[in-house]
Amino acid sequence: MTLRNIAIIAHVDHGKTTLVDQMLKQSGTFRANQQVAERAMDSNDLERERGITILAKATSLMWVKDDVETRINIVDTPGHADFGGEVERILSMVDGVVLLVDAAEGPMPQTKFVTGKALALGLRPIVIVNKMDRPDARVHEVHEEIFDLFAALGADDKQLDFPMLYASGRAGWASREETTSGKDLTPLFELIIEHVPAPKAEARIDEPFSMLTTIIEADPFLGRILTGRIESGKLTAGRTVKALSRTGELIERGRISKILAFRGLTRVTLDEALAGDIVAIAGLTEASVADTICDPEVDEAIHATPIDPPTLAVTFQVNDSPLAGREGDKVQSRVIRDRLLREAEGNVAIKITESTEGDAYEVAGRGELQLGVLIETMRREGFEIAVSRPRVLYKTDEETGEKLEPIEEVQIDVDDAFTGIVIDTLNQRKAELLDMRPSGGGKTRMVMRVPSRGLIGYHGAFLTDTRGTGIMNRSFAGFGPYRGNIEGRRNGVLISTDSGEAVAYALNFLEERGVLFIDPGMKVYQGMIIGENARADDLDVNPMKSKQLTNIRTTSKDEAIRLTPPRRMTLEDAIAYVGDDELVEVTPKSIRLRKRALEPHLRKRRAKDNE
């Protein structure tokens, strides 16, 4: 039996997980009558709701041709730049990559980000132009764009001579010829076996055992499960091993309690695993991602790819609002701290530090979406927390002492009519226009470099400016010189002066002051933000003022109060909306905005101190 290890990489929503579904079905991994969910690899609730892959996952299938069995280990990777930390680690345990590109959209920023990492490791990609059945497919232009992208990323001659396949992942076919219909995925399986080399580790089977950990997860029965590729030797259950850090220091010694291999969507227990295979092991308690698991006689750690540093940070603190503890059961700082440290163990792109404020922790990550997913996950687990506005993490140039800030590359597709307002808004956020060209169908494609802090909270304004038709994709480009002050939110907020339930009579008069965030009957408290002021300053209002009843009869009936529906904010919207003196209160059932200082005299004192 021969072995192949591949990763499937693509921009978000270009069809990676759907293609893996079809590969599993056509290789006979599922029974003919087995019920399998669509996008079976997206097992997480949040992944299913958002339609994106957040966690990298491994699977494997067996392909038999001419009585030769080949086991293909496949890693399905996230397509969003915020989860790039996962992708960088995964590429170190595969020998080839399948790059999936949409036949209409072409290579997008995230394609560029991950492909650059794969080419730098010397991997030779197989390119699949997916969704060939789209009516707006532009195959030749996409092929040229892929070639130009590879050349710009410094690919060598072997990498530039990449094989191409044309496919429709949903329909389950691939072809070496340019066509809009096909039979099955046989050409893809054949090309993987022909083009991707067998693991080099297979030749090192007689050496002492060693493997590099790339994925970590927790299991309630087995404890910590570490996934990686065996680089040398063989591993048997019950064997004594040790864990080395990236620098070669001893972390722990332990006994392997279980070896698990990926077979389709399930894990199978093995007695022995050989060099080159991707397996998961249980039994160790302290080893983490990028650590080397090896025989006791091995002293040298396997080289691990350094992960790009985090660019954004938010502060998590105990929820101390008057409504705290009513909806969630995990509210103590100790429980929040343990949960965050557990997250940092498995997610190397996240860094946790204790804040100078009491009962608060600073969580640094790759972007708003990654931090938003962590907060949403904790919220569903029953946590109540208060979260600050994201702030960017600056660096200092060691040679010149210049202040550097994270810069993102943004690719925007908008209707021609909206290009002016998008460029104008992003110019105010210190953007730099790199490229602008018509993309057909009355649309324009723009590529810009924008500071990360200029993009915080911009997505909502972008959708408003483009009437919901614009598409924006962003990826981390690197650190660049600080570009000066960027103006924040222009509008003030409406702040409740009292605690109780909001009354329709009061909200009816407050509508004239701005946009409301709450419904009648909703519980509010002093210092809670209940709306956006039409002017630039904050305004204290009373949403509980009711109509005073008198004993004087009037002929006019009370008018039925009709309120405009309030603005509903998602978690990401709320985090991007709040100012530096505000917090987002996140509970299992509610998302509320509030001031840090709930009482008016404390807010005035803070404002004076900041001046």
Residues of the chain with CATH 3.40.50.300: 2-198
Higher pLDDT among residues 54 and 282, named by residue: 282
Looking at residue 52, its pLDDT comes to: 54
Closest CA to 528 of 563, 567, 493, 504: 493
Mapped onto helix, strand or coil, the DSSP state of residue 173 is: strand
Q: Is the pLDDT of residue 555 over 60?
A: no
Write out the two tokens for 340: 């965050």
Question: What are the DSSP calls for 39-95, one per residue?
Answer: TTT--SHHHHHHTS--S-EEEEEEEEETTEEEEEEEEE---SGGGHHHHHHHGGG-S
Rounded Cα–Cα distance for residues 39 and 18 (Å): 5
Write out the two tokens for 219: 């299991």
The DSSP secondary-structure symbol of 306 reads P
Mean pLDDT of the chain: 83
Buried b (16+ CB within 10 A) or exposed e, 260-287: bbbebbebeebeebbbbbbbbbbbbeeb
Residue 604 CB: number of other CB atoms within 10 A? Answer: 11
Looking at residue 40, its pLDDT comes to: 44
Q: Which helix (H) or strand (E) holds 531?
A: strand 528-533
Rounded Cα–Cα distance for residues 578 and 456 (Å): 10
Write out the two tokens for 198: 């067998």
Tell the residue number behind the tokens 């990498």, with chain if given. 159
Q: Is the pLDDT of residue 47 over 60?
A: no
CATH T-level topology, domain 201-294: Elongation Factor Tu (Ef-tu); domain 3 (2.40.30)
Rounded Cα–Cα distance for residues 381 and 419 (Å): 42
Residues in the chain: 611
Tens digit of pLDDT for each residue in 278-331? 888 998 888 887 888 999 998 888 887 666 678 888 999 899 899 888 888 888
Closest CA to 314 of 358, 379, 382, 368: 368
**Mean pLDDT of the region 115-130:** 86
Looking at residue 84, its pLDDT comes to: 57
Tens digit of pLDDT for each residue in 135-190? 888 888 888 988 988 888 888 888 888 899 998 888 888 888 888 777 888 888 88
Q: What's the CATH number for 2-198?
A: 3.40.50.300
The DSSP secondary-structure symbol of 204 reads G
Mapped onto helix, strand or coil, the DSSP state of residue 517 is: coil
Contact 19, 166 (CB under 8 A): no
CATH T-level topology, domain 395-481: Alpha-Beta Plaits (3.30.70)
Rounded Cα–Cα distance for residues 110 and 557 (Å): 61
The DSSP secondary-structure symbol of 557 reads P
Residue 573 — very low, low, confident or very high, per pLDDT cuts 50/70/90?
Answer: confident
Q: What are phi and psi of 421, to 5 degrees?
A: -70, -35
CB proximity list for 406: less than 8 A, separation 6 or greater = 311, 312, 392, 393, 451, 452, 476, 478, 479
Contact 293, 287 (CB under 8 A): yes
Write out the two tokens for 377: 């996950």
Looking at residue 41, its pLDDT comes to: 46
Residue 322 CB: number of other CB atoms within 10 A? Answer: 14
Q: What are phi and psi of 518, to 5 degrees?
A: -125, 160
Q: What's the pTM value of the predicted model, to 2 decimals?
A: 0.75
What percent of the chain lies above the pLDDT cut of 90?
A: 13
**Mean pLDDT of the region 74-91:** 67
Q: Is the pLDDT of residue 528 over 90?
A: yes
Contact 397, 404 (CB under 8 A): yes
Higher pLDDT among residues 610 and 125, named by residue: 125
Q: How many CA atoms lie within 13 A of 497 on its CB side?
A: 10
Rounded Cα–Cα distance for residues 83 and 320 (Å): 31
CB proximity list for 370: less than 8 A, separation 6 or greater = 82, 83, 349, 350
Superfamily of domain 493-547+562-578+597-610: bipa protein (2.40.50.250)
Angle between helices 109-120 and 139-152 (to 10 degrees): 50
Tens digit of pLDDT for each residue in 237-290? 889 999 998 888 899 999 999 998 887 777 889 888 888 888 889 988 888 878
Mapped onto helix, strand or coil, the DSSP state of residue 26 is: helix
Write out the two tokens for 515: 């946009």
Give 432's strand partners: 449
Closest CA to 24 of 255, 185, 207: 185
Residues of the chain with CATH 2.40.30.10: 201-294
Looking at residue 43, its pLDDT comes to: 47
